């Protein structure tokens, strides 16, 4: 009999965690597992990429289906919040909605952890999948709360050893239920999508200067504000190149205003969100990630698969994916370090070529097999 697995997630909006989940859903053995996904909100572009064999459930509609009329929109938000509140007060309602009893329940983000622990399915195995860095949780009492919730689960999966280590430093103890399982990379899908056209991107099609590219949410965590400051200074020093950033977020306006104020908007280019950034990564010369903190950054693995020389700040599990000076270039987070790493790539072609050649030796299938064997053992036992 198949093991019934229930993944819990807030929504399918564009993000690394959602991509990790999709890779996992596609790889899980359909002969061994009955795979179910419960979304709090049926929301986000990535909901269309959920595999057809996955049984999809959701508690409330996403904002995409809401009215554009301001008052009606507000009423719909209030009603949606009321629906979620009812499910939280009476979790037995979920049992009726699903119509089955899961063997394993997985909170795939910490936002789903309270609902996991409040589950009406008392006998199910409870797994928490942690993709963040607890050191940056604000307020600090939230970090302590999440830590206590982790301890109530049967297993907490950490996406990187660095993430696990930071949790244990914060807790001042090792977590008996903790296990590290690195993210799986769907390298075949990435390579297929990378061959699609970059139809509207004249900047990349007709680029006349060295191009760095980055993919990520425009939020404080990702460090794009410091990258912009480094870029402004390098242009003043006479370096000619451009940086393209694919992604959306609430820092977009601040970054745009700053780039306009410094007259660098033509070389620090905010492209916005894209469902398929891989052709753009291929067309660029280098990949750069200036994050303040990460767990196990999917974007670094994707750039590695696409054989792009990578600059990344030393955060989270980055050094579990690339090796400094061999398959990438890792620097401490600061404006000066980002400046020096960009200079190194622009001025040292031998370094860049060595990194590209070393990247070709990486066996992504072996990486996936090791991660998947851990996952299957965890779900089956």
Q: What is the pLDDT of residue 205?
A: 64
Segment 68-74 mean pLDDT = 90
Residue 312, pLDDT score: 98
Q: Does the pLDDT at position 80 exceed 60?
A: yes
Locate 354 and state its tokens.
Answer: 């060595």
Q: Is 83 helix (H, G, I), strand (E, B) or coil?
A: helix
Can you give the CATH number for the domain in which 137 is found? Answer: 3.40.50.2000
Residue in 154, 216, 146, 211 with CA at minimum distance from that of residue 179: 154
Instruction: Using pLDDT thresholds of 50, 70 and 90, give the confidence band for residue 171.
Output: confident
pLDDT at 203: 67
Tokens coding 160: 């990187």
**Residue pLDDT, tens place only, 201-227:** 666 666 789 999 999 999 999 999 999
227/83 same-domain check: no
Q: Which residues contact 279 (CB under 8 A, 6 or more apart)?
A: 193, 194, 195, 196, 197, 198
Residue 204 shares a structural domain with residue 289: yes
Query: What's the order of all strands across the beta sheet hosting 211-215?
Result: 268-272, 242-246, 211-215, 286-289, 310-313, 329-331
- Residues of the domain holding 83: 3-185+367-380
Question: How far is Cα 53 from Cα 78, in angstroms, rounded to an integer?
Answer: 33
Coil, strand or helix: which one is 344? helix
Mean pLDDT across the chain: 93
Residues 160 and 199 occupy one common structural domain? no
Statement: residue 132 has pLDDT above 90: no
Token pair for 142: 């939230």
The pLDDT tens digits of the residues spanning 259-309 come to 999 999 999 999 998 889 999 999 999 999 999 999 899 999 999 999 999
Residue 179 has a pLDDT of: 95
Tell whether 180 and 210 lie within a shared domain: no
State whether 171 and 242 are in the same domain: no
pLDDT, average across residues 302-328: 96
Quote the CA–CA distance of 361 and 173 in Å, as a whole number: 38
**Do 230 and 137 fall into the same domain?**
no
* Least confident span in 128-132, 138-142, 316-320: 138-142
Distance CA(137)–CA(147), nearest Å, equals: 11
pTM of this prediction?
A: 0.89
For residues 84 and 170, membership in a common domain is answered with yes
Q: What is the DSSP string of 119-182?
A: -S-TTSEEEEEE-S-GGG-SSHHHHHHHHHHHHTSSEEEESSHHHHHHHHHHHTS--TTEEE-P
pLDDT, one tens digit per residue, over 11-28 is 998 888 999 999 999 999
Q: Is residue 167 located within the same domain as residue 45? A: yes
Provide the pLDDT for residue 353: 97
Give residue 25's pLDDT.
Answer: 95
Distance of alpha carbon 155 from its chain centroid, rounded? Answer: 21
Same domain, 200 and 150: no
- Is residue 25 located within the same domain as residue 38? yes
| pLDDT in the model for residue 202 | 63
Within this chain, do residues 181 and 199 fall inside the same structural domain, yes or no? no
Predicted confidence at residue 199, as pLDDT, reads: 57
Q: How many domains does the chain have?
A: 2
Environment class of 365 (CB within 10 Å of its CB; exposed 0-12, middle 13-18, buried 19+): exposed
Q: Are 136 and 224 found together in one domain?
A: no
First to last CA, the chain: 14
């Amino acid at each position: 009999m198949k093991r019934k697995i229930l993944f819990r997630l807030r929504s399918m909006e564009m993000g690394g965690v959602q991509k990790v989940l999709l890779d996992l859903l596609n790889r899980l053995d359909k002969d061994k597992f009955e795979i179910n996904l419960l979304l709090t909100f049926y929301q986000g572009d990535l909901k269309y990429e959920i595999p057809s064999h996955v049984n999809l459930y959701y508690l409330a509609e996403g904002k995409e289906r809401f009215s554009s009329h301001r008052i009606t929109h507000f009423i719909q938000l209030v009603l949606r919040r009321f629906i979620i509140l009812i499910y939280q007060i009476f979790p037995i309602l979920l049992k009726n909605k699903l119509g089955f009893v899961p063997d394993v329940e997985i909170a795939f983000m910490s936002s789903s952890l309270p609902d996991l622990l409040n589950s009406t399915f008392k006998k199910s195995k409870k797994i928490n999948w942690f993709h963040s860095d607890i050191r940056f949780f604000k307020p600090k009492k939230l970090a302590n709360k999440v830590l206590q919730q982790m301890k109530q689960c049967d297993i907490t999966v950490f996406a990187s050893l660095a993430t696990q280590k930071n949790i244990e430093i914060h807790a001042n103890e090792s977590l008996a239920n903790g296990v590290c399982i690195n993210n799986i990379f769907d390298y075949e899908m990435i390579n297929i999508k990378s061959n699609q056209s970059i139809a509207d991107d004249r900047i990349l099609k007709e680029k006349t200067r060295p191009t760095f590219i980055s993919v990520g949410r425009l939020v404080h965590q990702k460090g794009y504000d410091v990258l912009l400051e480094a870029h402004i200074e390098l242009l003043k020093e006479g370096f000619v190149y451009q940086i393209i950033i694919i992604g959306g977020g609430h820092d977009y306006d601040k970054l745009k205003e700053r780039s306009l104020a410094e007259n660098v908007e033509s070389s620090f280019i905010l492209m916005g969100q894209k469902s398929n950034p891989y052709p753009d990564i291929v067309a660029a010369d280098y990949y750069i990630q200036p994050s303040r903190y990460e767990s196990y950054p999917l974007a670094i693995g994707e750039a590695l698969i696409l054989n792009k020389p990578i600059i990344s700040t030393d955060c989270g599990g980055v050094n579990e994916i690339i090796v400094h000076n061999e398959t990438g270039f890792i620097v401490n987070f600061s404006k000066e370090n980002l400046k020096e790493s960009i200079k190194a790539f622009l001025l040292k072609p031998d370094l860049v070529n060595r990194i590209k050649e070393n990247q070709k030796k990486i066996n992504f299938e072996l990486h996936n097999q090791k991660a998947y064997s851990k996952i299957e053992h965890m779900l089956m036992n």
